[in-house]
Structure 1
């Protein structure tokens, strides 16, 4: 397959995936050797280097969707922007962890399937938040044009894949702790966090592609490439 390096979305995807793979490799080195001792290189570390990179991707996605919502006057894109603002704040402020711990105590959740009450609380918060934003997206979907609807169908598919790694694999990771098999627990944690990173990179690429192919983005990049040869040519004697 021929790689078009003038396609900015492709450039972004290669850089994002390469960075994700680097963080995954550094995590493996951290877990299996003594070459790296700083826990910030762990892909599972809260506010570690890999997670900060996730913040950046979620921030970019939220901004791009907001830009599309403003230029296209589309509530559907605004709903997507709000979702990724929530995901960013949830990761940074640990909303579902704090909220899950609170409601598990208030509602006296039991322990089930090796899941602690606070784990069930976190799951409940994640489900409620997911249903709320899916409702917003469904409302926006009914009010939007065919292009926004089609792009949202792809986004919903990517969102479910992200939820698989972020929710299902997270619960499986917690349940695996009861087996006291460290290598299994570490492997599931790597699949969970590594999967989240890679899927978020694909989401960032796709949203950037939407922006790039929109009239505003298309004109912006055309102007860039139109000016680039003239700048290069001006340096020639």
Structure 2
């Protein structure tokens, strides 16, 4: 029975990755001019791929909440809150809009080929992420060992998101060459990582119900 459950989880991951690769393929076809609809691009807000990304983020939140309730693991609730922010940030361009406002209001200078707006966006992302991770850290260290392990796994996946969404994005802005390549790596990488996170959240929520976990001393 356990093997069938694991097979089902793995099949779900394969399905997510295949859909991601399909959208990445559509993006490449669009870039080569085979199709003209910009919604095929993975770089367009509210394009087909981006909407799929929003759906994944929504279900990450829902499954983490379900895992927290089912396993009586409070650490999953601040993680769900963090992904709520990422969902709103992606769909409403929060860090872009707030970052632009901060950059223009405080006359932040650009550095290393980065625009002042890029610096503003980075500051917003660091501030929001830092505050939310404080809540995660508090419940992380009060959780049982097994819940801390899964929390560390979520953190490593978040680092992967930051690599593509922040580091590669900054390279995309700072380096005037290969914009198409950097855009593909940034958005395509984010899509694949979020599929991995959704699969992991699904795996957590699909575990057997737990007893109320003991808080760490």
Query: What TM-score comes out, normalization by structure 2 length?
Result: 0.91
For residues 101 and 81 of structure 1, what CA distance do their matches in structure 2 show? 27
Which residue matches 1:114? 113
Rounded Cα–Cα distance in structure 2 between residues aligned with 1:167 and 1:79:
22
Please list every run of 5 or more consecutive structure 1 residues that lacks an aligned counterpart in the other structure: 217-237
Matched position secondary structure for 2:114: coil
More relative contact order in 1 or in 2 (CA 8 Å, sep 6+)? 2
**C-alpha displacement of 1:67:** 1.3
Q: How many residues align?
A: 208
CA contact (8 A) 1:69 1:75 kept: yes
- Give RMSD over aligned pairs: 1.6
Residue in 2 that maps onto 1:27? 27
Alpha carbons of structure 1 residues 119 and 10: separation in structure 2 relative to 1, 3 Å = same
5+ residue gaps, structure 2, are 211-217
Q: 1:22 to 1:81 in 2, by over 3 A?
A: same
Larger proportion of helix: 1
TM-score, normalised to structure 1, is 0.84
1:62 paired residue number: 61
Deviation at 1:215, TM superposition (A): 2.5
Deviations 1:1-29 (A, max 9, x none): xx968733212101100000001111001
Conserved 8 A contact 1:58-1:200 = yes
Pairs within 5 Å for 1:60-139: 60-139=59-138
Which aligned pairs between 1:131-150 and structure 2 lie closer than 5 A? 131-150=130-149
Shift of 1:30: 0.5
Distance across 2 between alignment mates of 1:5 and 1:41? 34
Aligned to 1:37: 36
Rg larger in structure: 1
Q: Match of 2:59, SS?
A: helix
Contact 1:89/1:95 (CA < 8 Å) preserved in 2? yes
User: Distance between the aligned counterparts of 2:44 and 2:198, measured in 1?
Assistant: 22
